[in-house]
Amino acid sequence: MVPIQMVDLKRQYSKIKPQVDAAIQDVLESAAFINGAPVQQFSQELGQYLGSKHVIPCANGTDALQIAMMALGLEPGDEVITPSFTFIATAEVIALLRLKPVFVDIDPQTYCIDPAAIEKAITPKTKAIVPVHLYGHSAAIEPIMEIARRHNLYVIEDNAQAIGSHYTMKDGTTKKVGTFGHIGCTSFFPSKNLGCYGDGGALFTDDDALAAKIRMIANHGQSQRYYHDEVGVNSRLDTIQAVVLRIKLQLLDEYIAARRAVATAYDTGFATIPQIVTPFQATNQLHVFHQYTMQLNGADRNKLQAYLQEKQVPAMIYYPVPAHRQKMFESMVDPKLSLPVTDSLTGKVISLPIHTEMDEDQLTHIIDSVKSFLN
């Protein structure tokens, strides 16, 4: 059996090697390493795929979130509501800009921010909501947008884990996740569903003025060459990454289908195991399974993880410490803050390998290993 990885980027690359190698070679020969034509081409193609008017590439997903908050004019002391059950980047940039992260609880089924909890956390200082489409499942984006409209708040979607997912609204309209908010942000970190071969990220918006501002901030606040209107950052997508992304964007829907097939095999394999809660999938959205994260009830997670490791099956805890309990936020978070769903799920979740190259033998081995531990 081929060794099992959480994500098998080597095998994925081996299938697209001729195209990728040729495209990278072209970049080397053109020497247009920064802002080469493929950067613009990729942005347009991703915009078409998402149905978003503007896609502005940048250096990574964390920068995308930071640039989004800068472009919306958020100011020190403004409150930003976000889940604590997420990768740290979401909350970190809030604090970095001297905004106040307001952590709220998640929905126990989707692992995404709970709209009712958002509503309760709104104060006169609240300026924005940053929902995270965690593990590839969309947050309840329609109710969230409705709350935002009612309270005149901005929404920045952290779509680093759910690119390609779509969500159907009450009126039957379906849109890609990441295009509902004022700004959507994503990451092209190699292990993401649309990953490049280094760092990369992007912002999406339909708002022309906001797009212009994002472009300016990502480029040293420059309005015309060497004229700098406001303090910005330097955040670009390399041309080499853009050519890789152009190739992989064509395959994204196939990649999503392959991930979903793995998830279906796990769901079926674990259907009768009482200690496992398999991932929930709301019927009005497409789960793109960035992670296959299940809950363990009445079983020792550490022991399962160690047992799987012995069987050469990697398994990960995403994430072992929620943001509101991280040391970096000690001075910003009320020590009495209790997020019961977040705290409870942090102790129960475990993620199994899921990627585009998983074969039958590997899947059978993983499912059998998990079952033999729990039986």
Ligand X SMILES: *Cc1c(COP(=O)(O)O)cnc(C)c1O
Token pair belonging to 366? 């993983």
Token pair belonging to 135? 């593990």
For binding to ligand X (CB under 6 A), which residues are involved? 60-62, 86-87, 89-90, 132, 158, 160-161, 187, 189, 199, 201
Between 154 and 189, name the residue whose CB sits nearer to ligand X: 189
Q: Which residue is nearest to ligand X (CB)?
A: 61
- Whole-angstrom Cα distance, residue 248 to residue 255? 9
- Whole-angstrom Cα distance, residue 214 to residue 340? 36
Q: How far is the CB of 47 from ligand X (least distance, A)?
A: 19
Between 232 and 269, name the residue whose CB sits nearer to ligand X: 232
Between 160 and 214, name the residue whose CB sits nearer to ligand X: 160
Neighbours of 211 (CB within 10 A): 20
Between 62 and 369, name the residue whose CB sits nearer to ligand X: 62
Q: How far is the CB of 191 from ligand X (least distance, A)?
A: 8
Q: How far is the CB of 54 from ligand X (least distance, A)?
A: 19
Mind giving me the DSSP string for 325-373? GSGGGTTTS-TT---HHHHHHHTTEEEE---TT--HHHHHHHHHHHHHH
Query: Helices (DSSP H) in 199-300: which residue ranges?
Result: 208-218, 239-270
Hey, what amino acid is at 148?
Answer: A
Hey, what amino acid is at 236?
Answer: R
Between 114 and 363, name the residue whose CB sits nearer to ligand X: 114
Q: How far is the CB of 68 from ligand X (least distance, A)?
A: 11
Under 8 Å between Cβ of 169 and 143: no
Between 118 and 363, name the residue whose CB sits nearer to ligand X: 118
Between 62 and 342, name the residue whose CB sits nearer to ligand X: 62
Phi, psi of 260 (to 5 degrees): -65, -35
Phi, psi of 54 (to 5 degrees): -125, 130
Q: How far is the CB of 114 from ligand X (least distance, A)?
A: 17
Mind giving me the DSSP string for 87-119? -THHHHHHHHTT-EEEEE-B-TTT-SB-HHHHH
Q: How far is the CB of 347 from ligand X (least distance, A)?
A: 20
Q: How far is the CB of 209 from ligand X (least distance, A)?
A: 25
